Structure 1
Amino acid sequence: MKLVVAIIKPFKLDDVREALHDIDVQGMTVTESKGFGRQKGHTEIYRGAEYAIEFLPKIRLEIAVSDDKLDSVVEAISSSAKTGKIGDGKIFVMPLEQTVRIRTEETGDIAL
């Protein structure tokens, strides 16, 4: 089992959700977050004053998947979140040692 963590642009969330739904991914956790990478933020002008926005709004997705679905999940996120511009995000894949469904106490891939 793997835990896929993806950082994407907020307006791409619906596209990513639909792409994951199309490949039968059952669930994910979505968190609003802020951060920066190579973008390093940007400056804006508000009422004549210029100020720097160092942390940009992002969406963090966490998806637990079985090993056999990993490649299709990464491909679905990558293709649906891509705009071709700086700041599209990142995908991280980490090992997931154990999963337990609390309601039924099922473990492993069955609990996903």
Structure 2
Amino acid sequence: MKMIRAIVRPEKTVEILKELNDGGFPAVTKIDVVGRGKQRGIKVGDVYYDEIPKELLMLVVEDLYKDDVIDIIKRVGKTGQKGAFGDGKIFVTEVLEAYTVSSGDKKL
């Protein structure tokens, strides 16, 4: 299984979640986060914004579906045709074990 963590623009979150749900991936954790990428924040006039609001979406999927989820996030999370700085990042890691808290059952 793979854990997919995507940091995306807040204004893209609703559409991404809808597309994930429609694609058969309804189980997602969403967290409000702030951060900056390699552009080191943004400057608007005389004001420098060091921490930019983003959303962190996390989901765990079978290895078979990893590329489907990544494709949805990349397609829907992009700003404009070609995308733009600040559209976000996607991180994929291996899940070694998972447990259901209520029953204690091991998922893998």
Partners of 1:42 and 1:4 in 2: how far apart?
27
Residue 104 of structure 1: how far off its partner (Å)? 3.0
The one of 58, 63, 77 aligned to 1:62: 58
Give the number of aligned pairs. 105
1:92 aligns with 2:91: yes
Partners of 2:104 and 2:89 in 1: how far apart?
33
The answer (yes or no) to whether the contact 1:5–1:63 under 8 Å persists in 2 is yes
**TM-score calculated relative to the size of structure 1:** 0.86
Residue 108 of structure 1: how far off its partner (Å)? 2.2
Partners of 2:72 and 2:106 in 1: how far apart?
26
Partners of 1:26 and 1:12 in 2: how far apart?
16
Residue 102 of structure 1: how far off its partner (Å)? 1.8
Partners of 1:21 and 1:95 in 2: how far apart?
22
Partners of 1:108 and 1:58 in 2: how far apart?
30
Instruction: Report % sequence identity.
Output: 30
The one of 62, 71, 75 aligned to 1:79: 75
Could you tell me which runs of 5 or more consecutive residues in structure 1 were left unpaired when the two chains were aligned: none
- Which ranges of 4 or more aligned residues in structure 1 deviate by more than 4 Å? none
TM-align CA RMSD: 1.4
Partners of 1:43 and 1:35 in 2: how far apart?
14
The answer (yes or no) to whether the contact 1:5–1:93 under 8 Å persists in 2 is yes
